[in-house]
């Protein structure tokens, strides 16, 4: 029995509720409209939780939900729930009921409603029949990747999920239960090494058991995986490290899981990534941990960071939440009509979203069998992919366009004798421009082996939309549009070409938007264009990312209101999306827009040119006020006469296609044209090398790259040591100063008889400490405190420094409300008591209620008080949920609430550390807020209004859902 937080439930705190035994009018019934007794209790609790945190829209409320941990109910929220239960059933309850209750089930039992009619959520470990499995939807109730794995492993632990194959060797079988057990072992190892929930963990592993166990092990530990591609050719060692260094520094990875063979590279990374604490192997992790409690994971939390391949620039970390992923996987499954009877065959790398999400996580969700092989196995022997589909009767498979092209180039008919592809119902082609020639030739060649033309399915997606955005109708096959070349290149009009057009543009339809998602094509001013007009493609929907990790500039450029920019050019026709190119790759020459893809493909077809190793790009030409058209292509033969002939053929191909020759043709040795980890041409990077005159220099020797990286690492390490020495010296100076000033001030605080004198001493010490440590305190809004009436001040809590900063910045008439744990130290308790600090209990519900009543009397008597309504602070940045005490006191006593946002103290003194750092502190004091009257509803309004103002100015994200 489960319910979700819904609309606000009207109600006020009933301060007259009398103590006594519980009684009810009709046994076995509940208030009208609330259903069974258990459902009614859960619904009331969900409504109250929804009021307290409207952002937690997917909050699951069950009978076994913890009042404190799952629902975030503090002592006053418990009292409000008690009041609503009394009102709903017309009973009188003792406060002892809520003080003793830990879960909603305890409340039901305490209310005496009985258990005969209580509906409990199904045991997730119940056995599932084969008929249930065939119907699918086992994971439909999962809200996160972790829940998805838990459900599959609990209900079908022995069912086969993965088949790892790599050629002649016997496949390795992995069941759902084995996947969960392996992941749990990795999670225990990570927790045993002190990994904190929310930390980013880089994953640099090839396709194999270690990857699958480690990915979910990171998730089970409450951390965030960051997939990286493992080392490639030694000749590209430096470029590989440079790109990974950027990713690791950007995501601030705490750990790196890799293979033993990659440790030399990992050591270089560790010298250049300040946050990287450990480099470990999956085998090592599985033997270091112990059993532990898995931290809870919420749908809105980040599931993993998918770094873009960076074909047009430096990789950006796309933030994907569990909710994004579950929505996208479900939508793709509906579009593809996936059932557990399907078999997905994949060679796609697991560091790329198409292989990770589309192939693996999609198969895990839908209960499909996934047959997977390492990418290198396919690249060396493409026929293994097709034979895997044959042997395992694969129904689903996917590849970028070059994968289908490789199958056309790399083997002869003898290797295909007896091949049967008739089981293949959907062959997805995506992740890079789809070539109409490739899909036409692939369909024709493999028709005699049972491949059906309607199985070919060009698709469209991007990491910013999790992975999938558009799919064609199942069974339609590829749809190719023929448009006139001149109107498209000059005006962006996709005018259908007549049958006798000798040189049309052929553009492949890449599907229609998935359910719940929208697309539009706009001009440069974001005005939507009509059908068959080329423009920038934008999308919106529940799979859309919230932005790029620690990259506000690129995030701002991504969003156009509620729409996200794909960076692609496209036009729409009959609901289908036709991709025409990347915005940054378009070459403007002589008033015409030239897309590089068609010419790259034609040049790659020339005998002597390496297919897929051609880059066409434009370079600004100030002399002609247009762009130079440059063709960069690889050739194995470097003889002068052969190169001259190849250049002539490239020029002729350009004239045939574009009606103009390229300005420059550059032929280079193999390995020169830059590519991403997923095989895409890096045109922007090639353009930069051309502009620097380094295009024909070729890769440097591996020993030179290693020497240069070593020198760079030593210099960075030396600089880091110097910065650490300076930071350590500063921290020592700060603590010495604090102890000296504290020793001088404490006797005065004890001896001075009057309150004003004691507070003046504390303020002087706080200001002196700030000045001598070089900590500027910038205060805005101080005029909002220039009143004689009593006020309730509420401030966010970032650090132990908050109180010192506020004492230095605010007028002296405000007393502080502090957690009772501070009073455990006898000396500290006496000093704080002399400074009129009021202590409040956080954990003992009975004492907490008494403390609130005592503080309410002080406020009613005219005492101005300052609260930290979060109650505490955490290591992770973010504004936590607010407790209700301060706001109920303000509402019931008609006092104004003044919100105060503190910014900078967390970075000055990180929680769980005693190492102060340099930096300023900013304090924003908002306008006073007043409630509409006494009671819970008014207090809720005050709390939300104050929290909005603080969230706007504190500079940290909203962690309200973590309560």
- What does the pLDDT look like over 934-957, one tens digit per residue? 888 899 999 999 999 998 888 887
Q: Name the pLDDT band for 122 (thresholds 50, 70, 90).
A: very low
Identify the domain boundary among 111, 144, 162.
111
Task: Give the model's pLDDT for residue 129.
Answer: 56
- The more confidently predicted of residues 816 and 836 is 816
* Least confident segment among 388-392, 461-465, 568-572, 843-847: 843-847
Task: Give the model's pLDDT for residue 95.
Answer: 57
Task: Name the CA dihedral angle for 91, 95, 99, 104, rounded to a multiple of 10 degrees.
Answer: 10
Across 260-271, average pLDDT: 72
Q: Per-residue pLDDT for 199 more than 80? A: yes
Q: Per-residue pLDDT for 915 more than 60? A: yes
339/362 Cα distance (integer angstroms):
11
State the residue range of the domain holding 863.
Answer: 742-962
Q: Are residues 764 and 655 in the same domain?
A: no
Task: Give the model's pLDDT for residue 421.
Answer: 97
DSSP string of 879-930, one letter each residue: BPPPPSHHHHHHHHTT-EEEEEEEESHHHHS-TT--------EEEEE---B-
CATH number at residue 610: 3.30.300.30
Task: Give the model's pLDDT for residue 272.
Answer: 81
Domain count, the chain: 3
**775 falls within a domain:** yes
List helix spans (H) across 156-226. 176-192, 209-220
CA angle 312, 557, 354 (to 5 degrees): 50
Q: Are residues 678 and 757 in the same domain?
A: no
Q: Name the pLDDT band for 489 (thresholds 50, 70, 90).
A: confident
Residue 535's Cβ-side half-sphere holds a number of Cα atoms within 13 Å equal to: 20
Please classify residue 498 by burial: count the beta carbons closer than 10 Å to its beta carbon, then call 0-12 exposed, 13-18 middle and 19+ buried: exposed
Under 8 Å CB-to-CB from 42, ≥6 apart: which residues? 1, 2, 3, 61, 62, 63, 65, 104
Pairing of strands 512-513, 470-471: antiparallel
Q: Are residues 774 and 909 in the same domain?
A: yes
- The more confidently predicted of residues 839 and 793 is 793
Task: Give the model's pLDDT for residue 180.
Answer: 94
Task: Give the model's pLDDT for residue 636.
Answer: 84
370/160 Cα distance (integer angstroms):
9
- Sign of the Cα torsion 549, 552, 554, 558 reads positive
Q: Which of 53-67, 579-593, 787-801 ranks highest by mean pLDDT?
A: 787-801
Q: Name the pLDDT band for 31 (thresholds 50, 70, 90).
A: very low
CA 142 to each of CA 11, 269, 302, 748: distance values in angstroms, whole numbers, following the listed order: 32, 37, 16, 60
For the stretch 751-771, pLDDT in tens is 888 878 888 899 899 999 999
CA angle 481, 484, 490 (to 5 degrees): 120
Q: Are residues 847 and 746 in the same domain?
A: yes
Q: Per-residue pLDDT for 702 more than 60? A: no
For the stretch 494-506, pLDDT in tens is 999 998 888 898 9
Q: Name the pLDDT band for 93 (thresholds 50, 70, 90).
A: low
Task: Give the model's pLDDT for residue 837.
Answer: 82
Average pLDDT of the chain to the nearest whole number: 81
For the stretch 643-685, pLDDT in tens is 888 888 888 888 777 767 888 888 888 877 877 655 667 777 7
Across 102-111, average pLDDT: 70
Q: Are residues 796 and 898 in the same domain?
A: yes
Q: Are residues 670 and 777 in the same domain?
A: no
Residues 407-441 as b or e (16 or more Cβ within 10 Å = b): bbeeeeeeebeebebebbbbbbbbbbbbbbbbbbe
Across 14-20, average pLDDT: 31
Q: Per-residue pLDDT for 33 more than 70? A: no
Q: Are residues 860 and 774 in the same domain?
A: yes
Q: Name the pLDDT band for 883 (thresholds 50, 70, 90).
A: confident
* Least confident segment among 60-74, 123-137, 810-824: 123-137
Identify the domain boundary among 667, 683, 699.
699
For the stretch 344-364, pLDDT in tens is 999 999 988 899 999 999 999
For the stretch 536-545, pLDDT in tens is 999 999 999 9
Q: Are residues 750 and 880 in the same domain?
A: yes
For the stretch 310-346, pLDDT in tens is 544 578 899 999 999 999 999 999 999 999 999 999 9
Task: Give the model's pLDDT for residue 90.
Answer: 65
Task: Give the model's pLDDT for residue 678.
Answer: 56
**581 falls within a domain:** no
Q: Are residues 765 and 901 in the same domain?
A: yes
Distance of CA 158 to the CA centre of its chain: 31
**128 falls within a domain:** no
Across 436-446, average pLDDT: 94
Percent of the chain at pLDDT above 70? 80
Residue 797's Cβ-side half-sphere holds a number of Cα atoms within 13 Å equal to: 23
**557 falls within a domain:** no
**Residue whose tokens read 């994949």:** 346
CB 682 within 8 A of CB 674: yes
Q: Name the pLDDT band for 287 (thresholds 50, 70, 90).
A: low
* Least confident segment among 92-96, 575-579, 596-600: 92-96
Q: Are residues 639 and 746 in the same domain?
A: no
Residue 145 has a CB neighbour count (10 Å cut-off) of: 26
Q: Which of 30-34, 411-415, 564-568 ranks highest by mean pLDDT?
A: 564-568
Q: Are residues 636 and 773 in the same domain?
A: no
**Cβ contacts of 906-910, under 8 Å, gap ≥ 24:** 906/798, 906/799, 906/873, 906/877, 906/956, 908/775, 908/799, 908/801, 909/799, 909/800, 909/801, 910/799, 910/875
Q: Per-residue pLDDT for 818 more than 60? A: yes
- The more confidently predicted of residues 772 and 241 is 772
**76 falls within a domain:** yes
- Whole-model pTM over 0.75: no
Task: Give the model's pLDDT for residue 834.
Answer: 81
CATH number at residue 876: 3.40.1130.10
Q: Name the pLDDT band for 27 (thresholds 50, 70, 90).
A: very low
Q: Per-residue pLDDT for 120 more than 70? A: no
Identify the domain boundary among 668, 699, 730.
699
Task: Give the model's pLDDT for residue 830.
Answer: 77
**414 falls within a domain:** no
Can you read off the two tokens belonging to residue 65?
């939900």
**159 falls within a domain:** no
Q: Are residues 930 and 784 in the same domain?
A: yes
Q: Name the pLDDT band for 24 (thresholds 50, 70, 90).
A: very low
For the stretch 53-83, pLDDT in tens is 766 655 677 777 777 767 777 777 777 787 7
**642 falls within a domain:** yes
């Amino acid at each position: 029995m489960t319910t979700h937080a819904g609309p606000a439930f009207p109600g006020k705190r009933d301060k007259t509720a009398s103590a006594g035994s519980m009684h009810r009018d009709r046994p076995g019934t509940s208030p009208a409209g609330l259903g069974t007794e258990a459902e009614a209790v859960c619904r009331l609790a969900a409504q109250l939780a929804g009021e307290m945190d409207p952002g937690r829209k997917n909050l699951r409320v069950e009978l076994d939900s913890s009042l404190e941990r799952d629902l975030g109910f503090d002592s006053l929220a418990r009292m409000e729930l008690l009041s609503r239960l009394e009102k709903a059933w017309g009973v009188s309850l003792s406060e002892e009921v809520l003080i003793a209750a830990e879960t909603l089930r305890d409340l039901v039992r305490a209310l005496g409603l009985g258990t005969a009619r209580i509906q409990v959520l199904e045991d997730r470990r119940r056995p599932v029949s084969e008929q249930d499995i065939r119907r699918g939807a086992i994971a439909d109730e999962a809200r996160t990747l972790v829940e998805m794995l838990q459900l599959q492993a609990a209900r079908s632990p022995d069912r086969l999920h993965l088949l790892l194959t790599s050629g002649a060797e016997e496949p390795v079988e992995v069941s759902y239960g084995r996947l969960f057990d392996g992941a749990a072992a990795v999670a225990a190892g990570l927790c045993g090494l002190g990994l904190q929930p929310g930390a980013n963990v880089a994953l640099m592993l090839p396709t194999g058991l270690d990857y699958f166990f480690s990915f979910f092990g990171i998730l089970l530990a409450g951390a965030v995986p960051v997939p990286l591609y493992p080392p490639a050719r030694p000749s590209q060692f430096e470029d590989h490290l440079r790109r990974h260094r950027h990713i690791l520094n950007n995501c601030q990875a705490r750990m790196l899981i890799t293979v033993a063979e990659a440790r030399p590279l990992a050591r270089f990374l560790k010298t250049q990534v300040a946050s990287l604490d450990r480099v470990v192997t999956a085998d090592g992790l599985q033997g270091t941990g112990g059993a532990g409690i898995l931290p809870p994971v919420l749908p809105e939390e980040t599931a993993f960071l998918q770094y873009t391949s960076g074909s047009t620039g430096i990789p950006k970390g796309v933030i994907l939440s569990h909710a994004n992923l579950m929505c996208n996987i479900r939508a793709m499954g509906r579009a593809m009509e996936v059932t557990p009877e399907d078999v997905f065959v994949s060679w796609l790398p697991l560091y790329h979203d198409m292989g990770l999400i589309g192939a693996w996580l999609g198969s895990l969700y839908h209960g499909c069998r996934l047959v997977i092989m390492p990418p290198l196995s396919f690249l060396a022997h493409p026929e293994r992919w097709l034979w895997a589909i044959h042997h395992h009767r694969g129904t689903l498979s996917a590849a970028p366009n070059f994968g289908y092209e490789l199958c056309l180039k790399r083997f002869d008919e003898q290797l295909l004798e007896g091949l049967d592809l008739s089981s293949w119902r959907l062959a997805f082609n995506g992740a890079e421009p789809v070539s109409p020639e490739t899909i036409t030739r692939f369909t024709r060649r493999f028709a005699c082996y049972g491949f059906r033309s309607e199985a070919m399915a060009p698709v469209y997606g991007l990491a910013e939309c999790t992975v999938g955005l558009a799919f064609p109708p199942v069974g339609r096959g590829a749809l190719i549009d023929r448009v006139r070349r001149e109107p498209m290149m000059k005006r962006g009009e996709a005018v259908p070409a007549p049958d006798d057009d000798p040189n049309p543009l052929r553009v492949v339809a890449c599907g229609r938007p998935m359910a719940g998602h929208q697309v539009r094509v706009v001009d440069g001013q974001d005005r939507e264009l009509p059908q068959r007009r080329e423009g920038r493609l934008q999308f919106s929907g529940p799979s859309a990312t919230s932005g790029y990790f620690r990259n506000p500039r690129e995030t701002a450029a991504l969003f156009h209101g509620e729409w996200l920019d794909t960076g692609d050019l496209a036009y729409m026709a009959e609901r289908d999306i036709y991709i025409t190119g990347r915005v940054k790759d378009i070459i403007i020459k002589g008033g015409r827009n030239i897309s590089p893809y068609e010419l790259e493909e034609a040049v790659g077809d020339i005998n002597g040119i390496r297919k897929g190793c051609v880059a066409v790009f434009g370079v600004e030409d100030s002399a002609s006020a247009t762009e130079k058209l440059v063709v960069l292509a690889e050739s194995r033969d470097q003889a002068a006469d052969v190169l001259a002939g190849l250049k002539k053929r490239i020029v002729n191909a350009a004239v045939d296609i574009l009606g103009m020759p390229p300005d420059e043709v550059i032929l280079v040795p193999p390995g020169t044209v830059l590519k991403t980890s997923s095989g895409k041409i890096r045109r922007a990077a090639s353009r930069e090398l051309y502009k620097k005159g380094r295009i024909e220099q070729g890769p440097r020797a591996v020993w030179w790259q290693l020497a240069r990286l070593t020198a760079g690492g030593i210099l960075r390490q030396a600089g880091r040591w110097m910065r650490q020495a300076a930071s350590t010296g500063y921290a020592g100076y700060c603590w010495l100063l604090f102890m000296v000033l504290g020793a001088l001030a404490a006797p005065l605080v004890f001896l001075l008889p009057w309150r004003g004198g004691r507070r003046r001493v504390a303020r002087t010490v706080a200001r002196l400490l700030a000045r001598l440590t070089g900590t500027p305190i910038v205060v805005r809004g101080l005029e909002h405190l220039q009143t004689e009436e009593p006020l309730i001040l509420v401030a966010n809590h970032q650090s132990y420094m908050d109180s010192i900063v506020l004492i230095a910045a605010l007028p002296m008439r405000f007393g502080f409300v502090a957690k009772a744990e501070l009073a455990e130290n006898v000396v500290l308790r006496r000093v704080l008591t002399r400074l009129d600090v009021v202590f409040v209990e956080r954990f003992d519900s009975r004492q907490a209620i008494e403390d609130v009543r005592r503080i309410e009397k002080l406020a009613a008597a005219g005492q101005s008080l300052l609260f930290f309504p979060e109650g505490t602070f955490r290591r992770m940045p973010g504004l936590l949920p607010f407790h209700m005490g301060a706001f109920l006191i303000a509402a019931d006593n008609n006092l104004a609430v003044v919100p105060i946002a503190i910014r900078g103290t967390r970075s000055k003194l990180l929680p769980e550390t005693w190492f102060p750092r340099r930096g300023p502190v900013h304090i924003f004091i908002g306008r006073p807020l007043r409630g509409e009257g006494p009671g819970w509803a008014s207090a809720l309004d005050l709390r939300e209004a104050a929290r909005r103002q603080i969230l706007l100015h504190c500079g940290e994200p909203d962690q309200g859902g973590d309560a």
